[in-house]
Amino acid sequence: MGLRFLRPYLLAIWPVVVLALVLAMVLLWFGEAPGGRQRIITAALVNLVAVTGIYIFIGNSGVTSFGHVGFMAVGAYSAAWLTIPPAMKASLLPGLPAWLVATELAPGLAVPLAGLAAAAVALIFGLPLMRLSGITASIGTFAMLSILHSVFANWTPVTGGQGSLYGMPRYTDMQVATLWALVAMVVAALYQASPAGIRLRASREDMVAARAAGVNVPRERLIAFVLSAFFVGVAGALFAYLSMVVVANQFYLQLTFLTIAMLVIGGMRSLTGAFVGVAFVSILAEILRQTERGVDIGIISFSGRPGLQEVGLATAMLLALIFRPQGLTGGREIRLPQLRMPKRKSRKERTP
Amino acid sequence: MILLQTVMDALNVGGLYAMMALGIGLIFGIMRLINFAHGELVMAGGYVIWLMGAYPEMLVIVGSLMAVIVLTLSVERAAFRPLRGSDPAVLLVASFAVSYFLQNLAVLFFGARPVAFTFLPDLARSIDLGGVRVPILQLFSMGLTVAALGGLVLMLKFTEIGIQLRAVAEDVVTARLSGINVNRVIAVAFVISAALAWVVSLVYSAQLGQLSPSMGVRPVVIAFVATILGGLGSLTGAALGGFAVGALTVLLDVLLPTELRVFREAFLFALVLAILLLRPQGLIRVRALQGRV
């Protein structure tokens, strides 16, 4: 019975167990699917890593960040710097320091390092940024995104500038992406059940009350910001190893919109919401992509019209904002009522 | 002469940003909405002018202005009105969605590739003005800027609807209690911001010489910087912020060494961060002119 302190963590991990089962079913279903379909699922899983990462910050702090895609860029470029063969790197990126040019790591090692690089950048930006609140904080994160994008898109000797950076091996497959998605969800679940996570959620619900109870809001936010940047950076690296090319413009407004849309549609305030959002948007995007190829609806024929997918996505997001502002999940997690009800009573008896 | 030319450039660019910033600042002051979709109004205006290219110029001007206003009002009705009173961050996300929607609607209708913009080709010519060769476009846009800004100030100061606008921006509940029709005032604010966006689309499209679905993003992002520089919620601040950012971009172009010039945007946004941290109420606060609008 000395393990009682673990109980909240076990309860917290429960939604992840359920979601992992759902994932396992999807993987079993599509494990034998043709390459194209597998690739789509892998991309969705990479998005799941990114959105779970973003959720760790936005969901727990209540601060809408528009800057996390910048961390994806950091992760993707770090992965490129660490794995492109030295000979290629020397000619492609003459501005890199010598030690980095000489480094050639296995992708499996480069992915967590890319996450750490993103976390380090988050620490630097977060120190001042986390002091801001509300809309100013959102604008601040947007400014951060613009700074990162401008640097990556224009620092040609180090990043290749506006062009495409080739030379990375194909590493991300369905298994790798699933593994990281599970790690991200477990860490997110454990974090939000931890004392630090609860302090941050308290500040989200009522800033003044949390402060009065002794919560150091900027500090708690910074913890979540750095942790979330780690997984977003990992997602960036996985993204790079999936497409085998890094382009600065991939990590700007479009991807920011996509990830935020996933989070908003699913429900910003629960991990389950992040998962549901990624699933919903991925399926919707796929349906729209199929439609984009050409469908006749009566007299109107959208034959091969690009843009339809995005218009549909934006519409879905607006509808969610207006009619279901808490998202599809309503901000709730999956719970087992039988597990919770009797034990809560016993806790009440124990506390004097 | 180079100095004079630089000043002219700064004023010109600044005027454009000032109008953008005013369009955004006006809506923010009234309903705490940072309208990211403002740039898409500029884009839409450009495309309507392009579509109506075959008609007489007066008709094009009136028609495109009307089109932008109708578009703005429908966006307000469909997307922003149901969300009125929501958290500013939610409103920002919504306007982000509207912007994405309109951009891709343009892709759907006109394709992603830029099209040439040739309305009023005379604007591209230059005239000699006391030794300086000034493009007519520059004079034209400056004239339009001055007229638009002047008209806005006069309206806000002296007309009934202008006073109502400032009242709503100050306090919605009290304004409503005093018998102001808030819906109407907000609609008027959107119409004004649409008109400002239309002026920008006329000038900006002519400067670019082409239209593309994503053309509105850059000016709107820069106008963000301007509104924050001037102080969110202050119209005077937005206008001054616009000119300041215009001057700043021109200055950065002149002063920065070549290898750093490409990072202009990074410097601008570093400035935004600095302002948010050190002086969140904005850099310029002119006491005498300071309205909450």
Asked if residue A30 has pLDDT above 80, the reply is no
Pairing of strands B126-129, A295-297: unpaired
Residue A116 lies in a domain: yes
Name the residue among A63, A143, A317 with its Cβ closest to that of B97: A317
Confirm if B82 and B94 have CB atoms less than 8 A apart.
Answer: no
Are the beta carbons of A134 and B273 separated by less than 8 Å? no
Helix H or strand E encompassing B116: strand B115-116
Confidence of residue B5 (pLDDT cuts 50, 70, 90): confident
Are the beta carbons of B79 and A322 separated by less than 8 Å? yes
Residue A291 lies in a domain: no
Helices (H) and strands (E) in chain A, counts: 16, 4
Pairing of strands A295-297, A246-247: unpaired
Q: What is the SS3 assignment for B127?
A: strand
Q: Which two tokens stand for residue A332?
A: 């709730």
Are the beta carbons of A155 and B92 separated by less than 8 Å? no
Confidence of residue A349 (pLDDT cuts 50, 70, 90): very low
Confidence of residue B292 (pLDDT cuts 50, 70, 90): very low
Confidence of residue A14 (pLDDT cuts 50, 70, 90): confident
Please give the full DSSP string across B33-96, using - where no structure is assigned. ---TTHHHHHHHHHHHHHHTTTS-HHHHHHHHHHHHHHHHHHHIIIIIGGGTTS-HHHHHHHHH
Asked if residue B2 has pLDDT above 80, the reply is no
Q: What is the SS3 assignment for A106?
A: coil
Residue A300 lies in a domain: no
Residue A56 lies in a domain: yes
Confirm if A128 and B273 have CB atoms less than 8 A apart.
Answer: yes
**For residue A134, which residues of chain B lie inside 8 Å, CB to CB?**
87-89
Confidence of residue A113 (pLDDT cuts 50, 70, 90): very high
Q: Average of pLDDT values for B59-63?
A: 92
- Quote the CA–CA distance of B56 and B78 in Å, as a whole number: 32
Model pLDDT, residue B124: 66
Asked if residue A73 has pLDDT above 70, the reply is yes
Asked if residue A340 has pLDDT above 50, the reply is no
**For residue A261, which residues of chain B lie inside 8 Å, CB to CB?**
97
Confidence of residue A299 (pLDDT cuts 50, 70, 90): low
Interface contacts (A, B; CB < 8 Å)? 122
Model pLDDT, residue A346: 45
Are the beta carbons of B266 and A147 separated by less than 8 Å? yes
Confidence of residue A181 (pLDDT cuts 50, 70, 90): very high
What pTM value is reported for the model?
0.88
Are the beta carbons of B90 and A313 separated by less than 8 Å? no
Confidence of residue B62 (pLDDT cuts 50, 70, 90): very high
Q: Closest residue of A to B213, CA-based? A: A307
The domain of A141 spans 4-251
**Alpha-carbon distance values, B143 to A232, B199, B228, B243 (Å):** 48, 11, 26, 15
Name the residue among A140, A308, A315 with its Cβ closest to that of B108: A308
- Residue listed under structure tokens 């500040």: A203
Model pLDDT, residue A343: 47
Ordered structural domains, chain B, with CATH: 2-278 (1.10.3470)
Asked if residue A33 has pLDDT above 60, the reply is yes
**For residue B88, which residues of chain A lie inside 8 Å, CB to CB?**
134-135, 138
Residue A262 lies in a domain: no
Model pLDDT, residue A78: 96
Residue B210: what are its φ and ψ, rounded to 5°?
Answer: -155, 165
Q: Closest residue of A to B266, CA-based? A: A147
- Quote the CA–CA distance of A82 and B249 in Å, as a whole number: 35
Contacts of B184 (CB under 8 A, 6+ apart): none
Are the beta carbons of A128 and B93 separated by less than 8 Å? no
Model pLDDT, residue A344: 47
Are the beta carbons of A305 and B79 separated by less than 8 Å? no
Q: Closest residue of B to A147, CA-based? A: B266
- Quote the CA–CA distance of B210 and B20 in Å, as a whole number: 19
Residue A272: which of A26, A43, A14 has the closest Cα? A14
**For residue B94, which residues of chain A lie inside 8 Å, CB to CB?**
318, 321
Confidence of residue B104 (pLDDT cuts 50, 70, 90): very high
Residue B263: which of A283, A260, A39, A153 has the closest Cα? A153
Q: Average of pLDDT values for B275-288?
A: 65
More confident residue, A35 or B272: B272
Residue A307 lies in a domain: no
Q: Closest residue of A to B280, CA-based? A: A136
What's the residue count for chain A? 352
Are the beta carbons of A321 and B97 separated by less than 8 Å? yes
Neighbours of B129 (CB within 10 A): 11
pLDDT digits (tens, 9 = 90+) for A99-108: 988 888 999 9
Chain A contact probe: residue of B262, B271, B275 with most A CBs at under 10 A: B262
- Indicate the average pLDDT of chain A: 87
Q: Average of pLDDT values for A51-67?
A: 95
**Chain A interface residues facing chain B, Cβ-Cβ under 8 Å?**
63-64, 66, 128-129, 131-132, 134-136, 138-140, 142-144, 146-147, 149-151, 154-155, 253, 257, 260-261, 264, 302, 305-311, 313-315, 317-318, 321-322, 325
Residue A290 lies in a domain: no
- Percent above pLDDT 90 for chain B: 33
- Quote the CA–CA distance of A25 and A27 in Å, as a whole number: 5
Confidence of residue B290 (pLDDT cuts 50, 70, 90): very low
Are the beta carbons of B98 and A314 separated by less than 8 Å? yes
Domains: count for chain A: 1
- Quote the CA–CA distance of B293 and B28 in Å, as a whole number: 9
Asked if residue A330 has pLDDT above 90, the reply is no
Residue B52: which of B37, B63, B40 has the closest Cα? B63
Residue A82 lies in a domain: yes
- Residue listed under structure tokens 């947007």: A142
**Alpha-carbon distance values, B3 to A118, B10, B182 (Å):** 43, 10, 47
ipTM of this complex: 0.85
**For residue A150, which residues of chain B lie inside 8 Å, CB to CB?**
263-266, 269
Model pLDDT, residue B215: 93
More confident residue, A77 or A295: A77
